[in-house]
């Protein structure tokens, strides 16, 4: 299949904050020497897409084309792209650009680059038939991973893989707060790393599912007595939620040298007595997606252990139905839009 450089891209866009998506086509910028055109087959839906549609972060521009858990095949490439062949199956996540010249880029932590470019912030995303992006942020999907379960790895997967990769060892006890799109991947990855995994969720009904994902323990996050009982039990706790919680309980659930890592910003500032940090040399940290080295490691690791997301696949034409259900948290655990 040949895509002409001038072909318009068929997408779904919100025309204003909070709007439903409607078909929208646009002409991409000229293919740069490092760019690839990806013929999209699948795109996951992340909660961030809702925030972008709603302009919750005051960074959105309209028409807004969401979508940053993209899988497809390389249809065209710029003159400098040597690592990908036409037809290669690749994925693109939240980040699609960086300066490639700062110390963070040089050491493979492009996610820390101050010039980071987000795939669907100020530029068109993956709810479309095609996307033109910097090929250095397109990663080959390992053969063993089906496209629909691989797509969510490119944002949800790397987001929880990064703090695991930084802080967890196979001997670690790892807690995961929130068993949704990110949390279920965190459980699967931590289990595969050899860790002892505890799921924290406000939804009692998720206990069985969390255990099926690989959690060894389940703790109700609304049961204060149970939370208290977790004192000094975890080496790493990854929080995938953004709602107010009694964070002192979770800091207190850290063992010495333990880390509480936030992979999403809380809606309210965090208030913590520093004595809780001092007592056992605990840390609070934040982890934003992951760099290109981590992305490749994560894909290798996921393929080796047969880890993809638990997905519900809908045709891309049903994007509004999927978004509506996601707003109600009616998804187990990730929607992936597929093109016909």
Q: Which residues bind a copy of itself (CB under 8 A)?
A: 104, 109, 111-112, 114, 232, 256-257, 259, 262-266, 269-288
CB of 76 to a copy of itself, least distance (A): 34
Which residue's CB is nearer to a copy of itself, number 30 or number 265?
A: 265
- CB of residue 79 to a copy of itself, shortest distance in Å: 32
- 86 CB contacts (<8 Å, ≥6 apart)? 74, 75, 76, 77
* Closer residue to a copy of itself (CB): 61 or 231: 231
* Minimal distance, residue 263 CB to a copy of itself, in Å: 8
- Closer CB to a copy of itself, residue 50 or residue 279? 279
Of 262 and 335, the one with the shorter C-beta distance to a copy of itself is: 262
Buried-exposed string 225-257: b where 16+ CB fall within 10 A, e elsewhere: eebeebeebbbbbbbbbbeebebebbbbbbbee
Nearer to a copy of itself, 277 or 303 (CB): 277
CB of 284 to a copy of itself, least distance (A): 5
Asked if residue 237 lies in contact with residue 172, where contact means CB atoms within 8 angstroms, the answer is: no
28 or 163, CB closer to a copy of itself? Answer: 163
Q: At closest approach, how far in Å is the CB of 178 from a copy of itself?
A: 14
Q: Given the structure tokens 């949704």, which residue do they identify?
A: 180
CA 16 to chain centre: 24
CA 143 to each of CA 77, 90, 270, 304: distance values in angstroms, whole numbers, following the listed order: 21, 10, 42, 10
Closest by Cα among 332, 315, 311, 333 to 12: 315
In angstroms, what is the minimal distance from the CB of 68 to a copy of itself? Answer: 16
> How far apart (Å, rounded) are the C-alpha atoms in residues 244 and 267?
7
Nearest to 286 by CA among 271, 316, 264, 310: 264
């Amino acid at each position: 299949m040949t895509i002409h450089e001038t072909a318009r891209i068929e997408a779904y866009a919100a025309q204003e904050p909070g709007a439903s998506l409607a078909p929208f086509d646009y002409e991409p910028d000229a293919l740069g020497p490092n760019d690839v055109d990806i013929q999209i087959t699948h795109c996951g839906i992340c909660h961030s897409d809702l925030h972008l549609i709603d302009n919750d972060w005051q960074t959105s521009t309209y028409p807004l084309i969401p979508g940053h858990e993209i899988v497809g095949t390389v249809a065209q490439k710029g003159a400098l792209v040597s690592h990908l062949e036409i037809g290669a199956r690749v994925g693109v996540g939240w980040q699609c650009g960086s300066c490639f010249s700062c110390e963070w880029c040089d050491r493979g932590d492009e996610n820390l680059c101050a010039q980071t470019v987000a795939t669907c912030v100020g530029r068109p995303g993956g709810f479309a038939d095609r996307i033109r992006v910097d090929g250095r942020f397109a990663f080959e999907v390992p053969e063993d991973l089906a496209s629909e379960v691989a797509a969510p790895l490119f944002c949800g997967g790397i987001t929880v893989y990064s703090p695991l990769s930084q802080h967890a060892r196979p001997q670690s006890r790892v807690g995961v707060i929130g068993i949704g799109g990110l949390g279920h991947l965190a459980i699967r990855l931590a289990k595969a790393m050899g860790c002892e995994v505890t799921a924290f969720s406000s939804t009692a009904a998720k206990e069985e599912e969390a255990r099926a994902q690989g959690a060894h323990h389940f703790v109700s996050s609304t049961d204060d007595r149970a939370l208290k009982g977790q004192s000094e039990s975890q080496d790493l706790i990854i929080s995938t939620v953004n709602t107010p919680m009694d964070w002192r309980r979770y800091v207190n659930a850290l063992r010495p040298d333990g880390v509480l890592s936030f992979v999403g910003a809380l809606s309210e500032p965090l208030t913590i007595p520093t004595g809780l940090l001092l007592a056992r040399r605990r840390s609070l940290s934040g982890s934003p997606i992951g760099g290109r080295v981590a992305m490749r490691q994560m894909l290798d690791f996921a393929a080796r252990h047969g880890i993809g997301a638990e997905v519900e696949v809908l045709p891309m034409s049903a994007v509004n139905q999927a978004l509506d259900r996601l707003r109600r948290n009616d998804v187990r655990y990730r929607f992936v839009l597929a093109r016909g």
